[in-house]
Amino acid sequence: MLAIILAETPWTWDVRRPPATLDRAGDASIARARATNVHQDRHVTRGTGLSRYRDTVSLPGAAAFSITGAVGRLAQAMVGLGALLLLTGLGRSYALAGLVAGAAALSQGLGSPWLSRVADRVGQRFVLRPQLLVHTLALVALVVAAQRQAPGWVLLASGVLVGLSMPQFGAYSRARWTFLLTGDDRILTALSIESLVDEAVFVVGPVLTALLVTTVAPAAGLLAAAGIVLVSGLVYVSLHSTEPPVSQRLPQHRGPSASRSSGLRVIVGVFLAIGAMFGFIEVGVVALTREYGHAGAAGLMLGLWATGSLISGTVYGSIQWRSDASRRFQIGAAAMAVGCLLIAVSSSGLTLVTISLVIAGLANAPTLITGNTLASAVVPHDAITEAYTWLSVAVFAGIAVGSPIGGLLIDRLGASCSLMASIGAGTLAAVLATACNRFLSQVEPP
């Protein structure tokens, strides 16, 4: 966060360009409104500092869907660590536990973007309702299979089903904000709110999961996640007033998939590497606390890591940035790579690692917020939910890569090796953000 502020002085205004080609009059009017506001935003200020958050959430219905979506994402934040602690607590290996957690994360990328594209066309509620049912049953099935010491392939299959059916509340909420704030300079603050929600649930989620597992039962974390996602999801689908309108294009005139955008592919690649970094660090911290005989500290340490991100993200979203977003994205990715190095070299003690996690976390939210902001400018308007879903699943797919590889490294070489591996993932993210920056820096006013 500090690196972004220092590196970008003096500021030059960051603006977003609407999709270049839209084939319907309604979308064209949205494009004109966006283009007009892109230039007007140079002079428009709706509050400063934390008042920008108040102005944004005061929109009718905004607080309801954002809060409900946040609760739904809490369950998502509990699944990976819940599966890891469940299986290792029942005597299964870190490698298998990492594979199951990774399978749940990776399988989101197989179905979620397609489901989100369907949601853009038929409405969020018609996709979420069956998702909630299947996802809840899948979580229960994973718990039952683990407790009955089912073979590894059964656990993996259950993990895949959990991921395939994972509701993407973050993408749906970001799409609602984009619908409500088309052409409005508060969109960055709104997207910041959702990224802060992501960070907040990853503060509460790991702590709550570890608490339930250590004080109630190994399966308590996943069972709680099942109950939370079901209840919050049913409330979310009932909030119709803020649901984006469905695309009215005829099937033969449907626009291209968001995945065909070169700019989005760059952001997805960076987010994938960031997810791998998260996976290496998460399993590394869990294993490190057990090596030191303080297994219960894992949730707290990971929560403090997210707390650092939450703090910097709050500040970041309160600033009316004038610098180029692609440049901030580049600096943020580099700062995350440096944070990985700091964590890895501090693995000689839990206190040092905890301090390093808080410091390293300061780069997380600003980088992810900026990536989401850029994504809204590089895809067609009627593919925005799909675009946000690609970013979400990219992070979890990266975790799916980092978690099992980290588990294998831990089983053979110890926890510190997984933390060292995070340096490679962080460096890859920084290199991609720098080398492919031209695809993002083109998002400027005509």
Domain boundaries, the chain: 2-7+56-246+257-441
Dist CA 397 CA 403 (whole Å): 10
Residue 306's pLDDT is: 79
Is the C-alpha dihedral spanning 129, 97, 101, 75 positive or negative? positive
Residue 137's pLDDT is: 95
Tokens for 254?
């449907």
Q: Does 415 have pLDDT greater than 60?
A: yes
- Contact of 439 with 266, CB cutoff 8 Å: yes
Residues of the chain by 3-state class (helix, strand, coil), percent to 5 = 75, 0, 25
Dist CA 386 CA 408 (whole Å): 33
**135-166 confidence digits (pLDDT tens):** 999 999 999 999 998 898 999 999 999 988 98
Between the CA of residue 371 and those of 71, 328, 363, what are the distances in Å? 23, 9, 13
Query: Which class is domain 2-7+56-246+257-441?
Result: mainly alpha
Dist CA 11 CA 68 (whole Å): 36
Reported for 257-260, long-range contacts at CB under 8 A and 24+ positions apart, including other chains, are: 257/113, 257/117, 257/383, 257/386, 258/113, 258/117, 258/379, 258/380, 258/383, 258/384, 258/386, 258/387, 258/390, 259/113, 259/386, 259/390
Residue 72's pLDDT is: 92
Please, which pLDDT band fits residue 110 given cuts at 50, 70 and 90?
Answer: confident
Residue 323's pLDDT is: 74
Dist CA 445 CA 440 (whole Å): 13
The residue type at 412: R
Dist CA 377 CA 301 (whole Å): 35
pTM of the model: 0.72
Q: ω into residue 445 within 30 of 0, thus cis?
A: no
The residue type at 156: L
Please, how many CA atoms are within 13 Å of residue 94, restricted to the half-sphere of its CB?
A: 24
Q: For the chain, how many helices (H) and strands (E)?
A: 19, 0
Closest by CA position to 206, among listed 225, 190, 188 = 225
Tokens for 425?
């993932």
The single residue listed with the structure tokens 């460096």 is 427
Q: Average pLDDT, stretch 289-309? A: 81
Q: Does 36 have pLDDT greater than 60?
A: no
Q: Does 173 have pLDDT greater than 80?
A: yes
**238-294 confidence digits (pLDDT tens):** 888 888 877 654 344 455 566 566 778 888 899 999 999 998 998 888 888 888 888
Dist CA 214 CA 400 (whole Å): 24
- What mean pLDDT value characterizes the chain? 79
The DSSP symbol for 247 reads P
- Contact of 226 with 76, CB cutoff 8 Å: no
